[in-house]
Amino acid sequence: AGAALVPSFLIGPELESGSLVCPLSIPLTSDDAYYLVRPDGVENPALERFCDWIVEEARGADAA
């Protein structure tokens, strides 16, 4: 069990399936930015794929 502040576009399928639930009846909005930070000079293919994926997801949310 736990709680997280997560943009709904990242967890849409999980919300629809019921594997995650939103405990609030109103959405939480924020004007803050999100930052993706990683160390320079470290090669990690899994981290690269994650970074690419999260950037594409964010772009898709902007287009919606």
**φ and ψ at 54, to 5 degrees?**
-65, -35
What does the DSSP 8-state code read for residue 26? S
For the segment 4-31, what is each residue's pLDDT rounded down to a tens digit? 778 888 899 999 999 999 887 777 777 7
Contact between 20 and 14 under an 8 Å Cβ cutoff? The reply is yes
Q: Residue 36 and residue 38: Cα distance in Å, rounded?
A: 7
Q: Residue 43 and residue 39: Cα distance in Å, rounded?
A: 9
pLDDT band at 43 (very low <50, low <70, confident <90, very high): confident
Domain assignments of the chain as residue spans, ordered by start = 8-63
pLDDT band at 62 (very low <50, low <70, confident <90, very high): low
State the pTM of this model: 0.44
pLDDT band at 44 (very low <50, low <70, confident <90, very high): confident
